[in-house]
Amino acid sequence: MKKNKILLFVLIAAGGFTALQSCGDKRSPGRTYMPDMQYSRAYEAYTPNSLDKEGINYIPQPVEGTIRRGDLLPYKVPNTPEGYVQSAQVKNPLPLPLTSAQMSEAQRLYNINCAICHGAKMDAQGPLATGAKVPAVANLTTKVYVDMPEGTMFHSITYGKGNMGSYASQLTREERWMVVEYVKRTQLGGAAAPAPAAEAAPATENK
Amino acid sequence: MSQIIKHAIKVVSVFFILAFLIAPNKSFAADGEALFKSHCASCHKPDAKYVGPELKGAREREPEKGWVYKWVRNPITMVQTDPYAKKLHEEYGSIMTPFPDLTDEEIDAILDWADSYQAPGAAAPGAGGAAVEAPKSDNTLLYGLLTLVLLIVALILLQVNGSLRKMADESEGIPGKKPVPFYRNKAYLLLFAIVLFIFAGYYLVEGAVGLGRQQGYQPEQPIFYSHKVHAGVNQISCLYCHGGAQDGKHANIPSVNVCMNCHLSVTEYTGEPLYHDDGTQVDANAEIQKLYKYAGFDPTTKTYDEKSAKPIEWVKIHNLPDHVYFNHAQHVKVGQVACQTCHGEIQKMDEVSQFAPLSMGWCVNCHRTTNVQFNDDKGNGNQFYSIYEKFHEDIKNKKYDSVTVEKIGGTECAKCHY
């Protein structure tokens, strides 16, 4: 009975595929046809590795003292109370004034990274600050921050200050200086930031 | 005439009296909240301990009447002289910022507001819960049963029809055919075969296509991290944490220090209750404590212990096969594609699941229909595309008004497979 055999094969295949897919279980990624084409043999980003156990000398961090191509020289002032005072003397190494493209990029970076607390208008009315969640957010339009030297601002962004964490991992040195320059140019209400934080946040941050 | 004037004066005076009676109360109630937000909210909550004590009932706790006015205006000297202020300082460890400008009335307005403060959502769950738990009507079972009943009725009618014909034939003396049992009846067998073919074929094709795809994959993460709370309610930009999406291939999974930027001071969750998949409520504060454990952070002393810190092993959701190349920066920065296009409305998801099928057909479809950000004479768009001189010519000659990704090679095999 050849017919029956074909029928049986189709049934088993259908059942098999359905079972392999493990449909309905959203906690499992399911299965795949050819695992050697699906899963990388090389280590991908964030995959666990056992290199140290295998005796392979692998350093996940850049070698100390190396500078990324095109990046600014490292910031040497230490994260100490003396360093904080010293930072006032540090000058912005970028050619000033920034071009309009740099300024709009700085504004975009400010809206993503800073406006969430300090507010798009720098008045400490960011969504996290007004929700009474992050306490004691600096109002950048007040005299203390208007008078604050650029170097000190850069120092605080680099190492963090008070409740603010370090943004060294999120902004490169050049980006930090750009943001500092943007804050300095804007905090007096010169070229007010038009985009409110609410709109800048989830939907249009890629604009 | 004089009567009209008298009448008018009466009306106006009554209006003024009413205005005096109503206005101060109203403006004080409003002022209290506004003053609280501008002066106190950084360190105080109306109904819970924060950096400083809760403001509710502050006047009941004060050692003598009027103490609080002195305290607000000059806490620094009070800490050195007043025993109650000393005690507060020991308990909370920091001295309040002085507000010498606040008047007694303003301080009263703030405290009045705090005394009458009701946590938002405290009354809501009773009403909201009922609506949520209303059973979803699913009619599939009903329709299935109905079909089954109709099928049985049809079968019975067929049988009755057959029996009746047999009886009629017998009474008229026509010799009946030998009865065939239903399992050897060719019509039944054919029907069964067709139904089987359709069902088996459907599952076969579905299963074969779905193998290796994981749309809807929603793994359990080590911490119940709600994108809805962070990206939706609190409006944190996607690129705040996933900044790599604009700079490189990977949209970074943020390291713990990025979490701690805010959670250094955000130590408890005060928003709408969150729910697990099975309907149980998430203990959001315990989830924040989990973060502190990963960070090696002690929330009481606000210090880090680097030795006990370890990275959070988030589970990757969107997995592309190794033979496909995908670059985030190319889409986010160059193509200006919104995150939500491929990841769905992340800002509304508590637990993230894979929104798109991530199949090749899905990729290619988008490349066929999406226009590239061609530059124009005004300097808008991506200046890289200046090198496509012929397309610019054609656009100028109105041959077409836009250029899709496909036209600049976005569906070439080697674009993604090499």
pLDDT, tens digit (0-9, with 9 covering 90-100), for B46-68: 777 766 778 888 887 887 777 88
Q: Which residue of B has its CA nearest to A38?
A: B321
What was the pLDDT predicted at A193?
42
Which residue would you say has higher pLDDT here, B27 or B31?
A: B31
Of A38, A133, A198, nearest to B321 by CB-CB distance is A38
Residues B118-128 have a mean pLDDT of: 49
What was the pLDDT predicted at A195?
39
Instruction: State the residue for tokens 């995959």.
Output: A47
Residues A148-169 have a mean pLDDT of: 89
Contact A171, A113 (CB under 8 A): yes
Residues of A in contact with B337 (CB under 8 A): 206
CB contact under 8 A, B200 and A14: yes
Which residue would you say has higher pLDDT here, B22 or B42?
A: B42
Tokens of B312: 């959070």
Residues A23-29 have a mean pLDDT of: 74
* Strand locations in B177-316 (E): 297-298, 303-304
Instruction: State the residue for tokens 């073919």.
Output: B197
Is the backbone peptide bond immediately before A29 cis, with ω within 30 degrees of 0?
no
pLDDT, tens digit (0-9, with 9 covering 90-100), for B196-254: 999 988 988 888 888 888 888 899 899 999 999 899 888 899 999 998 899 889 888 89
Contact A26, B217 (CB under 8 A): yes
Residues B123-146 have a mean pLDDT of: 59
Identity of residue B152: I
pLDDT, tens digit (0-9, with 9 covering 90-100), for A31-56: 888 888 888 888 888 888 888 788 88
CB contact under 8 A, A135 and B212: no
How many residues are present in chain B? 418
Residues B172-184 have a mean pLDDT of: 74
Instruction: State the residue for tokens 């139904």.
Output: B195
What was the pLDDT predicted at B171?
84
pLDDT, tens digit (0-9, with 9 covering 90-100), for A43-97: 888 888 888 788 888 777 788 888 888 888 888 888 888 888 888 888 888 888 8
Which pairs with CB-CB distance under 8 Å and at least 24 residues apart come from A64-70?
Answer: A68/A172
Alpha carbon of A3: minimum distance to chain B alpha carbons (Å): 11
Residues of B in contact with A32 (CB under 8 A): 211-212, 321
What was the pLDDT predicted at B143?
92
pLDDT, tens digit (0-9, with 9 covering 90-100), for B129-138: 334 444 456 6
Say whether the ipTM exceeds 0.85.
no
Of A26, A200, A205, the residue nearest A126 (C-alpha): A200
**Quick check: A180 pLDDT over 90?**
yes
Alpha carbon of B62: minimum distance to chain A alpha carbons (Å): 24
Residues of A in contact with B360 (CB under 8 A): none
- Tell me how far CA of residue B155 lies from CA of A99, B148, B151, B184, B253, in angstroms: 83, 11, 6, 15, 61
pTM: 0.66
What was the pLDDT predicted at B6?
61
CB contact under 8 A, B234 and A45: no
B253: left (phi over 0), alpha (psi -120 to 50) or beta: beta
Chain-centroid distance, C-alpha A26:
29
Instruction: State the residue for tokens 């280590």.
Output: A43
* CB burial string A97-119: b at 16+ within 10 A, e below: ebeeebbebbbbbbbbbbbbbbb
Of B50, B208, B231, nearest to A202 by CB-CB distance is B231
CB contact under 8 A, B210 and A23: yes
**Quick check: B326 pLDDT over 90?**
yes
CB contact under 8 A, A29 and B319: yes
Of B43, B239, B340, nearest to A136 by CB-CB distance is B43
Tokens of B345: 């409305």
CB contact under 8 A, A166 and B257: yes
**Quick check: A127 pLDDT over 50?**
yes
